[in-house]
Chain A
């Protein structure tokens, strides 16, 4: 047998054991994290743009921002629920909360955040479409409390930060997988939100002012650059414990996730950086939309790789 020569003399060989579970948290959790990054990212980037520019520079931002966030957060919540093996017992998180668990704290925060974003989306949507459903009590009620939008918004922005980052704490609590426990993950989660938040807003920024679009390109360029540098720093230069080294073997040359990882880096980070950086001087609307789409795809692939490779190594 060919593989006999590949066994290191210092290594033992498993000759009888039970079948081990493979990927436990798969594509649904990847989609969950990716959608949450969009849901919080558009709020964070939108808040920055509203601070820097007049509302008239971004006419559809007031209703599109919470609407995109609302859709993304519902995708996130749907797949969180569907991934549970007992989804109807999700209510136990609210009836029997265990506060040391980042899952519990995150679920409470994300629920509150989604509630407030829903309120903003309803107010923003019916304010932007005054002729729509003029006799509907809900629509009229939303229009009456229009001022609530601006009052709720600061709390939503404040809440978007922990809602973005709590997944990193869940992963750190998943102490069986050392790759996830890196302290840099909190910052990576935040950068991911800025990446896909700006990418999502680029797709709806057709009639925005040049200055607002330039800010969007700057946020995209900076977030993908810092995120990419952190990945590369961790990959090439950081000290790695034995378990992390064994995990990263899956993305090294010849590893089963090598192509996926580098595709993620090229699509999600390298391409958007150069396009966005180029757009700072000379705006190219089509190329920016292309960069936004590659960012969204690239981040999904990066999250998927990062989520799955630590689950490949045996724990016992």
Chain B
């Protein structure tokens, strides 16, 4: 069994439902993403189009992240998933330097590397990955690429010649395929990131890696004494008293 993913970019409408489903299912902390949908604009006005590309771990058959991990925190499962054991990770970021797809992040809560696992916990229970379930147009297709009767295998056969992987020249043998992609959507060097072009914000780069409040001293003390970064948990944002809202309510009462 070799589990794989296929995204039909012709179907994807950029709703980011998969991105949110992934965030919720895996409790991915703020400033981190296991799956993201990138928007790019192609062409010259008035002949322009917007393309949406979901990007996640490619679960490579020849995974550089697995090879470079010094403690086997990154490891293969029997079904082909490249899984990660955060409790073993030493946080060297070697996997982040090895992954040609930029799919690994440093979790700011645990200060360990993390990434998409194709929702391995759901697969084990016979469920589909959260992003597949959430997709309203079934652009995400998931299944066993070694089973020729599976949906994904039939989809690949039906679209022969149009199925692509990202960066095939890296010889990583990704198990994540795209239909309807092109150089501009799949090659990061074929598009530019220009300040001022972002739809909602202009933040192009993170200031820090992992927890910004995790000082060098904290790295040694937190595992022993613990609890320094409770303020960063997603729950803390939910429970946070909304003072701004309260103030504005009071202010509103005056008018």
Instruction: Scan residues 190-246 of chain B and give those whose CB is less than 8 A from a CB of chain A.
Output: 190-194, 196-200, 203-207, 209-210, 214, 216, 219-220, 223-224
**A15 and B199 form a contact (CB under 8 A):** yes
**A85 and B38 form a contact (CB under 8 A):** no
Q: Cβ of A85: which chain B residues have Cβ within 8 Å of it? A: 90-93, 106, 111-112, 209-210, 214, 219
Please tell me if A101 contacts chain B, counting CB pairs below 8 Å: yes
A188 CB to nearest B CB, Å: 18
Question: Contacts A9-B44, A13-B197, A85-B214; is A316 near B166 (CB within 8 Å)?
Answer: yes
Please tell me if B157 contacts chain A, counting CB pairs below 8 Å: no
B141 CB to nearest A CB, Å: 20
**A93 and B71 form a contact (CB under 8 A):** yes
Q: Interface size (B, Cβ < 8 Å)?
A: 69
**B38 and A24 form a contact (CB under 8 A):** no
Over the window 78-108 of chain A, the binary record of Cβ atoms lying under 8 Å from chain B Cβ atoms (1 yes, 0 no) is 0000111111111011001110111110010
Instruction: Scan residues 57-78 of chain B and give those whose CB is less than 8 A from a CB of chain A.
Output: 64, 67-72
**A25 and B97 form a contact (CB under 8 A):** yes
Please tell me if B105 contacts chain A, counting CB pairs below 8 Å: yes
**B98 and A176 form a contact (CB under 8 A):** yes
**B205 and A21 form a contact (CB under 8 A):** yes
Please tell me if A286 contacts chain B, counting CB pairs below 8 Å: no
Residue from the list A88, A97, A177, A313 in contact with B189, Cβ < 8 A: A313
Instruction: Scan residues 83-137 of chain A and give those whose CB is less than 8 A from a CB of chain B.
Output: 83-90, 92-93, 96-98, 100-104, 107
Q: Cβ of A3: which chain B residues have Cβ within 8 Å of it? A: 194, 196
Give complex CA distance A12, B72 in Å.
38
Kindly specify which of A40-48, A167-175, A208-216 makes contact with the partner chain. A167-175
Q: Determine the residue in chain B with the shortest Cβ distance to A106.
A: B70
**B41 and A15 form a contact (CB under 8 A):** yes
Across chains A and B, the number of contacting residue pairs, with CB separation under 8 Å, is 197
Give complex CA distance A103, B73 in Å.
13
Please tell me if A22 contacts chain B, counting CB pairs below 8 Å: yes
Q: Determine the residue in chain A with the shortest Cβ distance to B111.
A: A85
Please tell me if B79 contacts chain A, counting CB pairs below 8 Å: no
Q: Determine the residue in chain B with the shortest Cβ distance to A311.
A: B97
Q: Determine the residue in chain A with the shortest Cβ distance to B49.
A: A12
**A7 and B192 form a contact (CB under 8 A):** yes
**A96 and B220 form a contact (CB under 8 A):** no
Q: Determine the residue in chain A with the shortest Cβ distance to B171.
A: A175
A66 CB to nearest B CB, Å: 27
Q: Determine the residue in chain B with the shortest Cβ distance to A101.
A: B70
Please tell me if B255 contacts chain A, counting CB pairs below 8 Å: no
Interface residues of A (CB under 8 A from B): 1, 3, 7, 9-22, 24-25, 82-90, 92-93, 96-98, 100-104, 107, 170, 173-177, 241-243, 246, 311, 313-316
Given contacts A12-B191, A173-B98, 10 further A-B contacts (CB under 8 A): A10-B190, A12-B41, A12-B192, A21-B206, A24-B209, A84-B219, A88-B220, A92-B88, A170-B68, A316-B103
Interface residues of B (CB under 8 A from A): 31, 33, 36, 38-42, 44, 50-51, 55, 64, 67-72, 88-94, 96-103, 105-106, 111-112, 166, 169-170, 172, 184-185, 188-194, 196-200, 203-207, 209-210, 214, 216, 219-220, 223-224
